[in-house]
Structure 1
Amino acid sequence: MSISVPLDDYDPSPAELEVIDAAEDVLTRVCMRRQGLSWKLLPRAAARDAEPRNRRRYGVVEPGIARVYGYHLPADRPTVARRAAAEAKRRKALDEAEKKAAYGPEGRPGKTTGGCLKEAEERLLEDVPDADFDLLDDTIGATYEQSMKDRSVVRVFRAWSVCMKRAGYHYADPMQALTDERWLKGSRVSKAEIRQAGTDVRCKKSTDLVPVWNAAENRIQRAAVKKHSPAFTKLRRAQRAWMAAAHRVLAKS
């Protein structure tokens, strides 16, 4: 199921993030080689294998996914899984000097206070015009929360909840079902979880929950973009420049 909202135009999709990550990987290798160190490029992930945008925005909505994974995240598609495995293997093979050169003084990803990965991020952004990315993040969160309080959404949540209750499940809204701790404790997908996820998807379908919620969120987001129109124009320009910079790096590699 394809789900879109207006703010998608200003935020990289999972497929676009794969392109950005690949470009940063190339720039990291340039930086590492400058220090006489090796850096094996990761295999590219195919755009078709990227996680669909907004897949779980309204909880689990795909019958096929619910039947196999319940509320758990689906397995990575082939080229994404291959890239993740290659990244883990590369990280494990780095010696201490290479870790510090790549990741900064703390020597591990996610803690980049410097290093070639940080330099690569900054180089890719050199020609990207300034924009208020905090506004984007804040608006994404605020409009989502606002949509859940919209009268039409509250009504459809109530209808969905009644549908779930008939099957013996008690939740006020779909996100409560998605984040139920019973499904988050481990990697194993139980039959009970699959049964409930299937009921969840069917109740969303019978109540038109996804189109109703999406319509409300679209309306709220369009109003937010209009309210801050100049800032969002800059954000769109920055997004396009960022992607163009990534494609230039990859074209030269």
Structure 2
Amino acid sequence: MSAGSAALLVTALGALLAGCSGSGHPAAAPNPAAAAPTLADIPATPSAAVPSTAPSDLSTLRLPVEQYILTPADNAQLNQATWVLAGDCIQQHGVTFPTPAPLTHQRSGSEVPRRYGPADPAVAAKDGYHNPAVTEQDKMPPTDSMASLSAADRATVNRCRAIAQKQLSGDAAYGSSSIGEQINSRSYIKATADDRVTAAFAAWSGCMKTAGYAYASPIDAYNDPHWSASPTAEQQEIATAQADITCKRRTNLIGIWYAVDAAYQQQQIEAHQAELDRDRASEQRQLGKARKVLARSPGSN
């Protein structure tokens, strides 16, 4: 896996796991779930129903594994309920630590529009390859409050949070299905190396060359080091992102990439159906408990 693939993978999956993490390119947050089972090794290349034309509305597309992993909105709700529960424990130990403000405006719909790099011309016209800016309230908490604590008090806060996680998860792993997250990561990597997708990359690259841009793949365009030199998108970056989207549409790149990605996911889902069903049931139980906790806690919603 190339460094470029890794960076765009973080873009695709970091948001799915943890919501927005601030301006610039996002970073995946650590998943506190237990050690994940090993995915079955399936060497066969799956067939994929590739659409003949580019999809007109990416928000209507959902990857198969999305039904088994938590959305950013789900994660925000679970995280907030965890801190509410932990707050009682923290207070009982005499530590002053405010319950972090709830994350708001977290996504609950399809992640397909963000998974393959820029896809929305209106967003690209404003942000290029950068993430849209987020408010301080919507960044992952806590940071400053933890840094101000003594080592002993930080240990207390972390211990209380672990207890709260256990209250929500019971005997299951806390949070999103770890095997589902693995499938989500692996399918992206497998699809990106698939001959059908690399052929689409070549067609996209030819389109970009005609427009005056020399990139072998949209991953290279996304990871152009020039973009990281500025905290916001400048005109060159915006123009490149807009050309990127135009060429994706002309070559049906996202339609092909999505279809192959989904095929690899379905292959793994069928091999791990029982585990995924178990994890999905656990996620729903945790979210149900989280909603009850937040309903009892004024100001947490």
Fold agreement, TM-score > 0.5 = yes
Q: Contact 2:169–2:175 (CA<8 Å) still a contact in 1? A: no
Amino acid at match of 2:123: I
SS at match of 2:115: coil
- For the pair 1:247 / 2:294, whether they are aligned, the reply is no
Q: How many residues align?
A: 237
Among 208, 212, 222, which residue is 2:252 paired with? 208
Mapping for residues 156-175 of structure 1, pairs under 5 Å: 156-175=200-219
CA distance in 2, matches of 1:208, 1:236: 33
How far the C-alpha of 1:61 sits from its partner, in A, is 0.9
Instruction: Name the CA distance, whole Å, in 2 between partners of 1:166 and 1:182.
Output: 21
Distance 1:35 1:125 in 2: 23
Partners in 2 of 1:196 and 1:131 — Cα distance?
A: 37
Does the CA-based 8 Å contact 2:65-2:184 persist in structure 1?
A: yes
Matched letter for residue 84 of structure 2: V
Residue number in structure 1 paired with 2:129 = 71
Q: Residue 31 in 1 paired to residue 89 in 2?
A: yes
Distance (whole Å) between structure 2 residues aligned to residue 34 and residue 250 of structure 1 = 20
2:137 partner letter: R
Write the distance in 1 (CA, Å) between the matches of 2:296 and 2:124: 42
Task: Measure the CA separation in 1 of the matches of 2:190 and 2:184.
Answer: 10
Deviations 1:151-198 (A, max 9, x none): 332222121111111122222221221122221244132211111011
Q: Give the superposed CA RMSD.
A: 2.8
2:186 matched residue in structure 1: 142
CA distance 1:129–1:88, change in 2 (3 Å) = closer
Counterpart residue number, 1:191: 235
Provide structure 1 residue ranges, at least 5 long, that are not aligned to the other structure. Answer: 106-111
| 2:70–2:176 CA contact under 8 A, matched in 1 | no
Using structure 2 for the length normalisation, give the TM-score.
Answer: 0.69
Assess, with a 3 A threshold, how the Cα gap between structure 1 residues 123 and 186 changes in structure 2: closer, same or farther: farther
Once residues 141 and 82 of structure 1 are traced to their aligned partners in structure 2, the CA distance between those partners, rounded to angstroms, is: 28
TM-superposition CA deviations, 1:110-139 (whole Å, max 9, x none)? xx8x43233322332225479994433332
Amino acid at match of 2:169: L
Give the residue type in structure 1 aligned to 2:260.
Answer: A
Deviation at residue 19 of structure 1 after TM alignment: 0.4
Q: Is the 8 A contact 2:78 2:287 kept in 1?
A: yes
The one-letter code matched in structure 2 to 1:7 is V
> Cα offset for 1:91?
4.8
Give 1:223's aligned residue. Answer: 267
Equivalent position amino acid for 2:106 in 1: A
Selected match of 2:106 from 37, 43, 50: 50
User: Offset of 1:89 from its aligned partner?
Assistant: 6.1
Distance 1:175 1:223, change over 3 A: same
After TM superposition, the structure 1 stretch with the greater mean CA deviation from structure 2, 129-138 or 54-63, is: 129-138
Percent of residue pairs identical = 26
**Over residues 75-94 of structure 1, what are the superposed CA-to-partner deviations in whole Å (9 max), with x where a residue is unaligned?**
12x6xx435498556457x4
Match of 1:108 in 2: none
CA contact (8 A) 1:32 1:116 kept: yes
After TM superposition, the score normalised by the length of structure 1 is 0.81
C-alpha spacing 1:246/1:130, structure 2 compared with 1 (3 Å): closer
TM superposition shift of 1:143: 1.3
Letter in 1 for 2:280: R
- Is residue 65 of structure 2 the alignment partner of residue 7 of structure 1? yes
TM alignment of 1:53-132, pairs within 5 A = 53-54=110-111, 55-76=113-134, 81-84=136-139, 87=142, 90-91=145-146, 94-96=148-150, 100-101=152-153, 103-104=154-155, 114-126=158-170, 128=172
List alignment gaps of at least 5 residues for structure 2. 1-57
Residue 131 of structure 2 aligns with an amino acid whose one-letter code is L
| Residue matched to 1:17 | 75
8 Å contact 2:68–2:280 — kept in the other structure?
A: yes
d(CA) in 1 for partners of 2:193 and 2:141? 43
Structure number having the greater helix percentage: 1
> What is the identity, as a one-letter code, of the residue corresponding to 1:82?
Q
Q: In 1, are the aligned partners of 2:124 and 2:242 still within 8 Å (CA)?
A: yes
Q: Which amino acid aligns with 2:208?
A: M
